Chains A and B, each alone.
Chain A
Amino acid sequence: MKNFTKTLLVLLLVLIIVPSIMAGGKSESKGEEKIVVTAMGYGDNSNQEGLAWKRIVDSFEKENPNIDIQDELLYDEAYHQKVVARLASGDVPDLAYMGADARWGAPWMEADQQYNLKSLIDTDHYDLALIPEMGPNGEIYEIPLGTSNITTVLFMNKNLVESLGFSQPKTYEDLVAMVPAAKAAGIDVVSIDGADGWAWGSCLMSSFIARTSGDLMWVSKALAGENKFTDKAFVDALGLISTMVSDGVISKKSVLVDYGTNVSNFNNEKALFMVQGQWAAGGVENPAVADSMVLMAWPKMPGEKASAAGSVAAAWSVGYGLTKSGAEDPAVRDAGIKFINYFYSQAEVTQRLRDGAIVAPVLKNFVVPDDLPNGVKQKVVLAQTASSSEVIDAFLTGAPNDALNAGMQKIASGQATAAEVAAEVEALARK
């Protein structure tokens, strides 16, 4: 009996100890003198952002053998959820991808983990004039990946449009005129990843509300109580969606199209235009399309006010920053800043520009290479020529924003009217 008890005890011990060694092993085996920086990167196994992150972490660790970046790479939903979860548990990363607005900054602000980088920023390297103030006293909580992040780009397949006998549309009516020819060719006029609620809000509505109201800052004024979501301008902007669907400019089935399908539709010449943010330019891999595509603002929409003509919606970029808990230990703070500077080095930023991940860098004396791909050049032109309006979800979050995004999907699929959606958003926003 004793023997058996012993064996059992040993077994149990093994059961409990082996996994804990395996779990603990990752920090112990790498030597004790290393400075460990826990980091939360943004990206995914299959996109450039993620691949670049992994590569940068690897080469940084190689160059700085005394620093260990313990990183976690997450994208989209998984990222947002994990931020909340880690903050809630007190397992705060030292360095993270974060924003300062209502969507990307809210959890960090709630947990009081935003850390002012102002005194740590090397002003010879970064151009402070290009980095926005994020707190009430001019605090800088993160270094944006790039300057304005244009979210409402209309990508045009120029060759395809011209092959049907049309040219770059100047007004909405020009788009409508393309519908019969496109239908006959079995392709869409404007493709949008309508299955993703955010695409409607970020990539479409953010521009439309500026156009119909003529006010580039309509959204922030609405949240301040100066405008109502039931105002005519907002209802009209929502109404544009149903107009586009009934005119055949946007297909009803787009509510079933996800991001990957949207990009590959455009890529495979199954649509004349694509609605997305500027970041999608890097995903267009068919050279025939990528080399000739035009990135444009929406043409003149019905009921548009002149003061917002040709505008695009743009938000400040999200980027990497330190957390308060990470900055507590000076060694970790310095290692973190070192990594951030490495991440924003001239070479890496140039690469990011080339990959199409940013519009323009926030570095001082940055030399723009002259052999940029077409999509990137187009972006720069757009950023320089178009006036910019606010992106809705940088201000509106949670339930009212969800209701707006879902509402637009309902409008597109004919399940709700613009007025109904506007009323719902207004009610939720004033709660």
Chain B
Amino acid sequence: MKSTEIVTQKKISGIIGKILSYFVFITWTLITILPLFWMTYSSLKSNEELTRNIYAFPHDLFDNYNDEYIVIPPQLNVIPDYDPDVDKRERLIIESTSIAPTRRLMVYFLVKEDLPVRIANLKVGETLVISELPSKMRLKISWSTMWFNYTSAFVRGGLGLKFINSIIYSSVSTFAIVILGLMMSFALSKMQFKKISKVIMALIGLGYLISINSVIIPLFLMLSSVHLTDTHLGIILVYTAFGFPLAVMLATQFMKGLPNSLVESAYIDGASVFKTFLSIILPMSTPVIITISIMSALGIWNEFLLVLVLASSEFTKSLPVGVFSFSSLTSTQLGWQLAALVIATAPAMLVYFLFNKRLTMGVVGGAIKG
């Protein structure tokens, strides 16, 4: 009797625990997915739509078959998308009256000879509907209307170049961190000179307390005096140096766990220190290398302040700074801002979901030894 009571009690509390657990996990998942989902579909909405109804699905940019365009005169701030010096054909310049009207953001240069006579003869100030245009032109305009926010974010924000910069910073720095960091770790853990090693280890360990943010002022003054600000090299050097503490700490700990006999037998076989490092230690350290690579690359990919302060030209800026420039105080194009957010997030998400297991294991594999 008593034991059944306990069993039922256990069962009930187990069920409550289960319900609670599911509740927590499902809510958390929703809090993660919904904002990202909202951000993604909202990035396909026009500016007007975004203020009109914050939750509505995109409509205006897609339902563009009957969009009205107005003929405008050539003006300084209407920048041709062709080279007027080479291509001398006459054009009809039209601008949307519904998407960012009068802002010269949705402007097309239609070759007059390809247009029906009635439309080619339209005067400045007269309007047309894009369904009246020849189908090739209509499709082109229709298509670029849909992707208005994205092309704008990409072209005007120069996000393409910033994307490449982000890749350069993450990959080159990570590579340097792994190679140089593992060389150090090997020397510190598997060679004699314990005293020096201890001193160096302590020095590097202390570096874990120092972040780029906490020495950004002297770092900036110092790098500018050797003309390394606004260069890829300067930024990569900083990322590399600040990647060492974690890398060396993890790798040293890992290598200490490798049996000394491995190294010793290699020496007896006549292998040099470098050879031993390369052919024995490096392959055996794959798990810790993966961890270091993921942690470093991820941190660098998302780093913001250093590039904000060091990089002044478009040539050296990275993705987070590019994205932030879209949310500056007085920017009025909310749609572009959301598109920039999606552009910055999508690749990371893609990589994450493709290699989820590997990445999670990587972060863990050696990150902490209890």
In the complex, is A directly touching B at CB under 8 Å?
A: yes
A370 and B97 CA atoms in complex are apart in Å by 22
Q: Among A17-25, A103-111, A121-129, which stretch is in contact with chain B?
A: A17-25
A52 and B79 CA atoms in complex are apart in Å by 10
In the assembled complex, how far is the CB of residue B274 from the closest CB belonging to chain A, in whole angstroms? 5
Contact mask for chain B residues 162-203; partner A; CB cutoff 8 A; 1 contact, 0 none = 000000100010011001000000000000000000000000
Q: Among B112-120, B220-228, B292-300, which stretch is in contact with chain A?
A: B220-228
What are 16 contact pairs spanning A and B, CB under 8 A? Answer: A15-B176, A18-B172, A19-B236, A26-B313, A45-B157, A51-B77, A51-B79, A81-B309, A85-B312, A89-B229, A264-B48, A264-B50, A265-B51, A267-B51, A287-B101, A351-B75
Residue total for A at the interface (Cβ-Cβ under 8 A): 59
CB of A45 within 8 A of CB of B52, answer: no
Interchain pairs with CB closer than 8 A, number: 154
CB of A47 within 8 A of CB of B313, answer: no
In the assembled complex, how far is the CB of residue B109 from the closest CB belonging to chain A, in whole angstroms? 15
Q: A23-B233, A46-B332 are in contact. Are A72 and B325 (CB under 8 A)?
A: no
CB of A78 within 8 A of CB of B325, answer: yes
**CB within 8 Å of A: which residues of B?**
47-48, 50-52, 75-77, 79, 97, 100-104, 152, 156-158, 168, 172, 175-176, 179, 220-221, 224-225, 229-234, 236, 272-275, 278, 308-309, 312-316, 325-326, 328-334, 336
Question: Which A residues are CB-close (under 8 A) to B231?
Answer: 19-20, 23-24
Q: A11-B179, A78-B308, A82-B312 are in contact. Are A287 and B331 (CB under 8 A)?
A: no
In the assembled complex, how far is the CB of residue A294 from the closest CB belonging to chain B, in whole angstroms? 18
Question: Which B residues are CB-close (under 8 A) to A267?
Answer: 48, 51
In the assembled complex, how far is the CB of residue A21 from the closest CB belonging to chain B, in whole angstroms? 9
CB of B329 within 8 A of CB of A196, answer: yes
CB of A1 within 8 A of CB of B272, answer: yes
Q: A4-B278, A19-B236, A91-B224 are in contact. Are A48 and B101 (CB under 8 A)?
A: no
Give the one of B75, B231, B330 with max A CB within 10 A.
B330
Q: A46-B331, A70-B313 are in contact. Are A347 and B220 (CB under 8 A)?
A: no
Question: Which A residues are CB-close (under 8 A) to B313?
Answer: 26, 70, 72
In the assembled complex, how far is the CB of residue A287 from the closest CB belonging to chain B, in whole angstroms? 6
Of the candidates B77, B97, B273, which one forms a contact with A355 in the assembled complex, judged by CB atoms under 8 Å apart? B77
Of the candidates A8, A89, A265, which one forms a contact with B221 in the assembled complex, judged by CB atoms under 8 Å apart? A89
In the assembled complex, how far is the CB of residue B255 from the closest CB belonging to chain A, in whole angstroms? 18
In the assembled complex, how far is the CB of residue A77 from the closest CB belonging to chain B, in whole angstroms? 7
Give the one of A23, A263, A268 with max B CB within 10 A.
A23
CB of A4 within 8 A of CB of B102, answer: no
Minimum CB distance partner of B168 in chain A:
A19
CB of A77 within 8 A of CB of B328, answer: yes
Contact mask for chain A residues 47-74; partner B; CB cutoff 8 A; 1 contact, 0 none = 1100110010000000000000010110
CB of B312 within 8 A of CB of A86, answer: yes
